[in-house]
Amino acid sequence: MEKIEHIGIAVNSIQSAGSIYEKLLNTTVYKTEKVASENVLTAFLQCGPNKIELLEATSDDSPIAKFIAKKGEGIHHIAFQVNDIHAEMQRLKNEGFVLLSEKPKMGADNKLVCFVHPKGTNGVLVELCESVEETN
């Protein structure tokens, strides 16, 4: 894996959390994006080589709504940048990790993503992400 690409934080409101993190990091949200497949609204802030991803549920059956109902707002996942997500998924499978999807999905911020089940990673939800070319 290349580096920590971003840390995902589950929030009740992108609008209010966005302004808090803008003050905290002394920067501005550079992108907000809906991810329909996950029923989330995301907002990104850059912090040096890494990013913070704020996640707000857009429906009650969103994974973020379920997370907040169970644990409250807070760190939801850590995302690692990989060069070849298919190879990395295979490597992790061979190591016995449980992946939450068989194939990578299109995530926010022009990334192919796959999640690793937190039960095999000491309670931390891990996201793999590979950058893909912007397609408009």
The residues of the shown chain that bind Zn ion, judged by CB under 5 A, are 8, 53, 79, 127
CA 12 to chain centre: 16
In angstroms, what is the minimal distance from the CB of 25 to Zn ion? 17
- In the complex, which residue's CB is closest to Zn ion? 8
Nearest approach, Cβ of 118 to Zn ion (angstroms)? 14
Q: How far is CA 83 from CA 5, 75, 90, 101, 102, in A?
A: 12, 24, 13, 18, 18
For residue 70, the minimal CB distance to Zn ion (Å) is 18
CA distance 107 to 82: 14
Compare residues 75 and 87 and give the one whose CB is closer to Zn ion: 75
Q: What is the DSSP letter of 81?
A: E
Please, which residue, 83 or 94, has the CB nearer to Zn ion?
83
Q: For residues 57 and 81, give the distance between their C-alpha atoms in angstroms, rounded to a whole number.
A: 24
Closest CB to Zn ion among 80 and 97?
Answer: 80
Q: How many Cβ atoms from other residues are within 10 Å of residue 119's Cβ?
A: 10
Question: In terms of CB distance, is 88 or 127 closer to Zn ion?
Answer: 127
Q: Show the tokens assigned to 29.
A: 């949200």
Taking the complex as a whole, how short is the minimal distance between the CB of residue 113 and Zn ion, in angstroms? 7
